[in-house]
Every structure is written in C-alpha cells, then in structure tokens.
Chains A and B, each alone.
Chain A
Amino acid sequence: MENIKITHSKNAILQLKDVSVSYTPEKFAVKKVSTDIYPNTITAIMGPSGCGKSTLIRAINRMHDLYAHITTTGEILLKGRNVLEMDPMEVRRMAGMVFQQPNPFPTMSIYENVLAGYSLNGIRLNRSEKDEIVEQSLMSVALWDEVKDVMSKRGSFLSGGQQQRLCIARTLALKPEVLLMDEPTSALDPISTNKIEELLLELKQKFTIIIVTHNMSQAARISDNSMFMYLGELVEHGNTAQMFTKPQHKRTEEYLTGVFG
C-alpha cells in the first residue's frame, strides 16, 4: 500500500502484521491486514456491513478467544509485545473495549460499575483509592456532575447516553493504552452521540482510540486517520481529511460517495 500519509508524531503504539481472522478454515472475515496505529490519535474504521471492521478490533483485545471456532493469525504488537502471545486478561486490561449496546452491569451500582474492572479481577483497593478512581473516571467522561448524588443507584437507572459514558468510564478506570470502540454511538440519540464525540476528542490527549463506525460524517468529524475495509481487506488507511477529499482507491471513493454502503 502506498497510502502512507498517516497523521502521527511518535512511534506506532499498535502494529498489525498480516492479521487474518477466520470463522471456519475457508472463510476469512479479515484478510492479511497490516498497518500501524499511532498514540493519541483517533482512527476510524469504516466499511459496509460484514466487511470485517468489528472482527478486526475484536482481534486486538482477543475477544475471539471466547469463541472456539474463531482463529486469529498474524502479529498484533501492542507497545512492541505480541498480543496473540500474551495473557488475554492482561491484553484486555491494556486494550479496553466499548460496545455498540451500552452494557452496564445491572446488578451493580453506578459506583461499582466504574470499579468493575478492579473487582472482577480481584484487585483490592481501599476506600480513598476507590473514591479517587471513580471520581476521576467519571470526570473524564463528563458524567461526574450528573451522577455524583446517585452513586448507589443501578447503572440501568441512567439514560442510554449516560450508560454508554458509564461504560467508557468503566474502561478508562483500568487506564488502558488503547480504547477500542465498536460503533459506540449507533444505539444513541443525536445529542448523546454529540456528547460522546466531544468526549473522544478530549480523551485522545491521554489515550489512543480506534473506533468502528458506520457513520461517515462521524469519522470525518472526529478521526485523525481513517481505515476503509472491504470484504475483509484493508483497502486504504490514511489521514482522514485527505481520504475524504482525495481517496487513493476507487472502492473507497465509491463508498464515500455512496455508490454502495
């Protein structure tokens, strides 16, 4: 690939080398994807349904391990370490994930939801450490003021947009290196979507964000770089502004102009 004009200032934090994911031995959902992701950027992954974009980010935090029939090959280097050879639990703490449908744990309070990453992993914290993590995490998703007086209520008590921000806070509480987001706003209303987009622009100061999106204008609004995938292949990866104005590949252009979708 010649589309090298990726926006970056430092060394890659995440490197994909010939990453393939297959559901059955013959059927590849992701085919030999190689690319680099740079720290403190937002990378949008676009493409039509079934192009493998969700499958690709789920490979990064090894969610595919949960399903015996899915195999991932190639190399995924996170800060130089091959994710596929690491302990999957450690990988998932380093690469946090936010899902399409907000999924706060219904049996836990808002406070407990933020700390779920710690309690699930059996990490004990004292009260002041907990309070600090909860406050910081909720502050960084701009939810603190809205929920600080209802901490003991269930997570499901919140609106959809608030729930999704709670889920982001829960992920950030573990201080991940990379934030993987699988269409995080597709189940939300425009106002909540807007809030989360603003939030992501702030969060990239501290984190590296990869966001799968169906929404081209969302990719244009918030991402530094964009990846376009088609039929499991990475067609193009480059600076978002350039890709939207001068795509290198015909497929990308067709997708962006709505010839198919």
Chain B
Amino acid sequence: MKDKIFRFLLFVAALLILLLSAAIVYALVSRSGETFREYGIWGFITSAEWDPRSATEEYGALSFILGTLYTAFFALLLCVPFSLAVALFNGEYFKGKKIAGVVRSVVDLLAGIPSIVYGLWGFYTVRPLVIALDVNAQGFGIFLSSVVLAIMIIPYASSLSGEFLSMVPNNLKEGAYSLGATRIEVVQHISLPTAASGIVASYILALGRALGETMAVTMLIGNTNRIPGGLRGTGNTMASVIANQFGEADGLKLSALITIGLLLFIITAVINLIAKLVMKKLSHA
C-alpha cells in the first residue's frame, strides 16, 4: 500500500513538471500572438526596427538576435583556449594529482559566482581596462560583455571537456608512447581526436549558457536598440533587452519582448539538444 502511494506521488510530481513546462511554453506562445499578428514570424525576426514611440511604434528582433550571436560566439572564441588549457591540465597532464583537484575546485567556484557579481566586476574593473585599450570611449559594448561572458562560461566548457579527456583509454596513449611519440604528440594525435566529440559537445553547452546569460550582459553591453556595429560597438542581446525594458512595457511592446523570450527559449533548447545528440553519438561509438 505504502509502495503504491509513493509511486502515485512520484507520478504526480513528474506530471506536474511536464505540465509546468507546457504552461511556460503556452504563456510565451499565447502572449506572442499579438506580435505575430502584427508582423508575422518572419517579419519580426528580420526587422531591425525597434521604435517604442507610440506614434511610430514598430518592433523587430533582428538587432537583438545579432547582438546575442555576436556576444555569445565571440565569448566562445575567447573561452576556447583557456578552457582547453584547463581541461588538458586537469584531464591529461596533471590527471589524478592534487593540483588538478585544486584547479578544478577553483574553476567550479567560478561557476558558482552570481551573474550580478560578474556584472559589477566587469563594470568597475574590466571596463576601465577596455577603455585603456582604446576599444571605445565608454567601455560598454559587445567586446566588454564578451570578455566577461567568456570568463563566466570557462567552467562549463572546461570541466566537461576535461572529463572527456580523462576518459581517453590509457592503452591508446601507451600504444602511442610505445611508438616513440612525445607527450605533446600523444595529446595532439590521440587524446584530443579521441575526445573530440565530447569536447565539441561541452563547447555547445557553454554556448547555450552564453546565449541566455542576462544580468552581467545587461550591465555591460550598452543597451542600444540597433544592430551592433562590430565588436567595438554597443548593442543589446535578446536577454538584455528583455531585462532592460519589460518593466515599462505594455501592449504590443510587451508582446514583442515576450516573443523575443520565446525565440531565445527555442534557440537554447535547440543548442542543448544538439549537444545531447553529439554526446549520445559519442557514447555509442
């Protein structure tokens, strides 16, 4: 009897989570209706116009989609060498050593720092450096947000790819050493290619995090509602424009912001799905 009740409770809990997810999607979709009726899906995605003045009101998501892609991919680019270095340090060169454990804990600690703290640090510490480097006058923009974002996603990229590197079978490495390979040759020709799909999957997951990161980016990107003029320019990401403007939005503008939320939700879901597929392929190989 007890067993039956417990099973029933588990079933209810699982069902509740499914219903909740469905409710979130439903809320997003239903409140996006106004935007879609006004512009159509394609029209909304391809328009870079964002004009909230009531007389000339018009909304399009392109500036924010591009702003999101710029910052996320540039952050990923910056994060690759560092997270690869950490992964090789922990998963290959110092595998199983005390120092690897220390590095791993510190990197994990980075993952636990709240986004707002990164935002503050970026605002007061990194921004003056960006100004000193003469990237742009105010420091705010794609470059600054990408740098901070890169540091924020290093833990995600490095810990998972380090796991995959440390899973490369020892007998393959010994086989390569027995043929006279040096350590760097083993890493380059055996460890990295063998762990490649896992490493790629880790980076896709890190990209997913970068796409959705909100608080720090909102504080650093400059919040301008147009297509960013390159790395030096300012802009807005999909997440940051919502964070910045939802408080004073109503009507069509609110619907447009919710539609951007829906699009962001879809993009990150697809990215996570791709990462899972890559890893699944790996585990069957």
| Candidates A66, A90, A106, A121; contact of B172 at CB < 8 Å | A106
Inter-chain CA distance A89–B180, complex, in Å, is: 4
Chain B residue, CB-CB nearest to A68: B97
| Candidates A99, A117, A167; contact of B180 at CB < 8 Å | A117
B166 within 8 A of A: no
A80 within 8 A of B: no
A122 within 8 A of B: yes
A120 within 8 A of B: yes
Asked if A96 contacts B179 (CB within 8 A), the reply is: yes
Asked if A103 contacts B175 (CB within 8 A), the reply is: yes
Asked if B194 contacts A107 (CB within 8 A), the reply is: yes
Residues of B within 8 A of A66 (CB): 174, 177
A257 within 8 A of B: no
Chain A residue, CB-CB nearest to B285: A106
Residues of A within 8 A of B196 (CB): 107
**How does the 8 Å CB contact mask read for B182-202 relative to A, with 1 for contact and 0 for none?**
100110011001101000000
Asked if B179 contacts A174 (CB within 8 A), the reply is: yes
Asked if A63 contacts B178 (CB within 8 A), the reply is: yes
A93 within 8 A of B: yes
- Contacts A103-B171, A103-B172, A120-B185 given; indicate if A92 touches B180 (C-beta within 8 A): yes
CB distance from B55 to the nearest CB of A (A): 62
Question: Count of B residues near A, CB < 8 Å?
Answer: 20
A61 within 8 A of B: yes
Asked if A116 contacts B176 (CB within 8 A), the reply is: yes
Using C-beta atoms within 8 Å of the partner chain, give the interface range for chain A: 20 to 34
Residues of B within 8 A of A121 (CB): 179-181, 185
| Candidates A90, A99, A107; contact of B174 at CB < 8 Å | A99
A170 within 8 A of B: yes
| Candidates B172, B174, B182; contact of A89 at CB < 8 Å | B182
CB distance from A113 to the nearest CB of B (A): 10
Residues facing B in A72-107 (CB within 8 A) are: 89-90, 92-93, 96-97, 99, 101, 103, 105-107
Q: Known pairs A103-B169, A120-B190. 20 more at Cβ < 8 A?
A: A61-B178, A63-B177, A63-B178, A66-B177, A89-B182, A97-B178, A99-B178, A101-B171, A103-B172, A103-B174, A105-B176, A106-B172, A106-B194, A107-B190, A107-B196, A117-B179, A120-B180, A120-B181, A170-B179, A171-B178
Residues of B within 8 A of A (CB): 169, 171-172, 174-182, 185-186, 189-190, 193-194, 196, 285
